Amino acid sequence: MRVAQNLLIALASSLAVWGAVHATVQAADQGDEPAAAQRLLATGKYDEAADAFTGLASSQPFESAIGLARVAASRGQLDDAERHLRAAHGAAQSKPDQARALAELARLALERGRHEDARKMANESRALDDNQLLARWVAAELLRATGQIREAETAYRWFIDYYNDHEIRSAADLILIGRAAAIHARWNRASDQFHFLVNELYPDVLKLDATAWQAHLEAGQLFLEKFNQAEADRQFSQALAINPAAAEAHAAIAHLALQRYDMDRARAAIDRAREINPNLLSARHAQADLLMANFQVAEAEKYLQATLALDPVSEETRARLAAAYVALDGYRANAEDDPDSRAGNIMRQVVELNPHAGGFYFALATRLEERRRFDAAEAYFLQALERMPRLVGPRAGLGMLYMRLGNEPRARELLTEAAQVDPFNLRVSNTLQVLEVLDGYDTLETEHFVIRFDPAKDKLLARYAARHLEQVYPELCQLLGYQVPGKSLFEIFSSAKNTSGHGWFSARMVGLPFIGTVGACAGKMVAMASPNDGQHKFNWARVLKHEFVHVVNLQQTNFNIPHWFTEALAVWNEGFPRAQEWNALLAERVPKGEIFNLDNINLGFIRPETSENWQMAYCQAELYAELLLKKYGDDAFAKLLAAYADNLDTRAALKRCFGVEQADFEKEYVAYLHEIVAGLKTNQSVETLSLAELEQAVAESPDKLDLAARLAVAQVNAKHYPAARQQAERVLAKLPKDPAASYVLARLHLLTGEDAEALAVIEAAIDPAAPDPRLAGLLASLKLKSRDYAEAARWYQMLSQRQPDDIRPLKALARVYLLSRQDAQLAPVLVRLAELDGDDLTVRKKLADMALAAGDYDRAAQWSRRVLDIDVQDPDAHRLLAAALLELGQAGPAVEEYEIACELKPQDTGLLHALADACLQAGDKPKARAALEKLRQVNPADPAAADLMESLSE
């Protein structure tokens, strides 16, 4: 088995909890009072436990002092814990008790980085009791921490021998044995021990002591290192069910949440862990990781400096601090030899203490890989393997890194080796399955791109994707001021082996099935779920262009561009207007102040709490870009990209590029958002109060009819129809033309099929000069229903003019023109709909069809291509494009499109006729003859085929 050290609960806290579980069995031997006190401690009732242990001071001073030390340690009060342990040592009346107290003091010294003190006290403990397991554990850890690997292995092996030779009746001893066995198994590649630990040993711990939440914690950590997130979550939750105040379990959940990119849950778990124990290293490490994930590297560096004071030699803390220095100062090869390198200074200090510090370099590389500092991460993964070849974690991490860099052959070698050692790592096994799928893929190579695809399902898509990417390549490289070196890898995933294309796409990107998008970029490669794979088509051309923007600006800034700006650039270059959903979010959130800022917007992209937060992050990012261009000119993007390329953060970049402090820029941005919201014209009226709040407000102020009308609208939307009718009629009794109440009453009539009554209510209330949009919408729908197309069009036109940011009136107007066959009026409406909805295939196909019928062949070709941007397997789109190209005198390309249409719809005689004709116009008689032969096979009696074939023979 392998330990992903960066995800483990820190040694200090895990040893502290050993003392808590150890006391359960010991206390049971001392009588009911210590046992009762220990149960309070084990279930997180720390105040009560402290009182109970204090009450034992006169009768059982040793147990009292030991218990108070453990309560203090659980709260991070380490000085108090040490004071109580020294008192316990003074009160000990037997050698075993003296050994226990010394072992606890050794553990505490180790926890605080005082290795010499820890070694001295562990030796003294063992001199009194050579089977003192905690003392032996501290000794083993000291050997490992100082690079004495052979001696450490022997020390860990002792625990396994002890387990095999003795009947263990102590839950605490089993916990320590489990930890030692796990390390021994990782170093000796005994992966079968994983099953033994989680299925036998840790359940045995709980049989001995049902309050031993540490058993769940240890099992959860093992699952977490295997990326078995569901089982890890279950184990950590079970630990908290026993002890809700177990700071170590909350910290473990934080690391799990970070692994899942669930930043909101991670933040909450960190806060809870640090509320209980502010000095818990694992919680502080999680907090630093969260800061780094949000590009707050300077803040992380300061936080880690403060954390280092708790344990100056912690490899986990030092690794994170070194990663922060690399991110802040830039990567330097051989930094260890550079006295001016802050990261290098840390590395030298670590290696001086531990020449085999593979765990340190593994944690450092992992943190840098998360920060997309791939060159540095690669170097330090290799360093980890060189210093500690037994570790499988760096091998797996480096393999996953090579996957992100598109070096799949090297990734396969490393991941195969890692899987042989640790077959239970889900991320590794999933990625190897991805590589097996890719083995069956074909490759299409162009001047600037390499495209991998399923030849049975996506050959046509790959062909069009390659063409599209080469078309946008010069435009984007020129716009962004950077040409990508080498060829960029794009992979398109389809369903295989009972897994969807999206599932394979997710596994390709992160080794786990949870990515919520259809395309993603790792910097030098892009993966996309095939649009041919799911039920819902999407604009694959838009996705590929978006992701290639990421490829360019990630590499041009050496991956230092923050998430918000790379997304802003990618969305900006898509060329579509702001989505209606985004306008609705702006209208709802900006007035409430519920918006992101530059300090937290990056987290909106990384597994946000809601899909709305995700959409809001994209929306706000693009608006940041808009403001930059509006305020600082056309070269604002280039300046900011150059600053990020120079390794600046956003705060420093704004200052250098535009001479503005971030706080001042944020104020201007908020004002800009309010300006946008003020100019929005949409029927997305936002109710600021909930239904319950409206009900309470009306109950308190029943005479406020505006509130009553708003309540009626909320009630009808919630399908509380009788209550809505009651409120609406009460309002209308005093205000007969109130638009909101009339809207509610009209809707209630429509629900029961009373169209005439609804129309009467609407016409009595609507103001023709300034109509309420809700009433106007109902009136237009009634006119459409009665086929009064002229009136329906008039009302929908008025609504779309008054609400240009609302797509619904436009859709309704298009339906009116379609039903009334008014193509001249329909066309501009469809164009606007196509602009507003990048994934609407039907609208684009209709525009292509109309343009072809009208003889506008250029426009017909344009809209046909936009259909293919969504669905390359639509034979009608290829037919429309072919027909337009033929009329434009481009017979060769027309033949190609007709051939594709015929492949997609081989029994269509009309397509075969058209193909033959196109081939003749292109002067390609052999192809024409082949098309006619196929036509005669499909329909032997086709007279036109016979005539054409005869003409070819002449």
Residues 508-517: tens digit of each pLDDT: 998 987 677 8
DSSP state of 496: B
Using N-to-C axis directions, what is the helix angle for 563-574 and 459-480, rounded to 10°? 110
Contacts of 903 (CB under 8 A, 6+ apart): none
Q: What is the DSSP string of 499-544?
A: B-HHHHHHHHHHSSS---SSEEE-SSEEEEE-TTTSSS---HHHHH
Q: Assess contact for 191 and 40: CB atoms under 8 A.
A: no
pLDDT digits (tens, 9 = 90+) for 859-894: 999 999 999 999 999 999 999 999 999 999 999 999
List CB contacts of 141: < 8 A, sequence separation 6 or more. 11, 110, 152
The whole-number pLDDT of residue 954 equals 58
| CA angle 113–115–119, rounded 5-degree value | 145
Comparing CA positions, the residue from 112, 5, 75 lying closest to residue 246 is: 75
The predicted model scores a pTM of: 0.87
Residues in contact with 700: Cβ distance below 8 Å, sequence separation at least 6, in sequence order: none
pLDDT band at 603 (very low <50, low <70, confident <90, very high): confident
Residues 530 and 494: beta-carbon distance below 8 Å:
yes
Chain centroid to Cα 927, Å, comes to 51
User: Cα(773)–Cα(170) distance, rounded to whole angstroms?
Assistant: 74
Cα–Cα distance for residue pair 174/299, rounded to 1 Å: 40
The mean pLDDT value of the chain amounts to 92
Three-state SS for 453? strand
d(CA 863, CA 526): 27
Tokens of 728: 């609406």
Laid out side by side, the sheet with 449-453 consists of 442-445, 449-453, 488-493, 525-529, 519-521
Q: Nearest to residue 883, comparing CAs of 846, 917, 934?
A: 917
Rg over alpha carbons for the chain, rounded to the nearest Å, is 35
Rounded CA-CA distance 547/809 in Å is 32
**Residue 449, φ and ψ in degrees, nearest 5:** -140, 150
Q: What is the pLDDT of residue 690?
A: 86
Return the sign of the alpha-carbon dihedral for residues 194, 199, 200, 206. Answer: positive
Q: How many residues does the chain have?
A: 954
The whole-number pLDDT of residue 534 equals 75
> How crowded is residue 818: how many other Cβ atoms within 10 Å of its Cβ?
15
Question: What H or E segment, with its residue span, contains residue 431?
Answer: helix 426-439
Q: Report pLDDT for 33.
A: 79
| pLDDT beyond 70 at 26 | no
Please state, for a pLDDT cut of 90, what percent of the chain lies above it: 86
Q: Which domains does the chain have, with CATH numbers?
A: 5-294 (1.25.40.10), 766-831 (1.25.40), 841-953 (1.25.40.10)
Where does 87-241 show beta strands of DSSP type E? none
Residue 14 banded pLDDT, cuts 50, 70, 90: very low
Task: Retrieve residue 820's tokens.
Answer: 């009334």
Lowest mean pLDDT among 515-529, 609-623, 685-699: 685-699
pLDDT value of position 22 = 53
Q: Label residues 81-101 b or e (16+ Cβ within 10 Å = b).
A: bbebbebbbebbeeeebbbbb
What residues contact residue 705 under an 8 Å CB cut-off, 6+ apart? 731, 734, 735, 738
Say how far apart CA 669 and CA 251 lie, in whole Å: 36
Of 139, 133, 141, 138, which is closest to residue 159 (Cα–Cα)? Answer: 133
**Each residue of 182-238: pLDDT tens digit?**
999 999 988 889 999 999 999 999 999 999 999 999 999 999 999 999 999 999 999
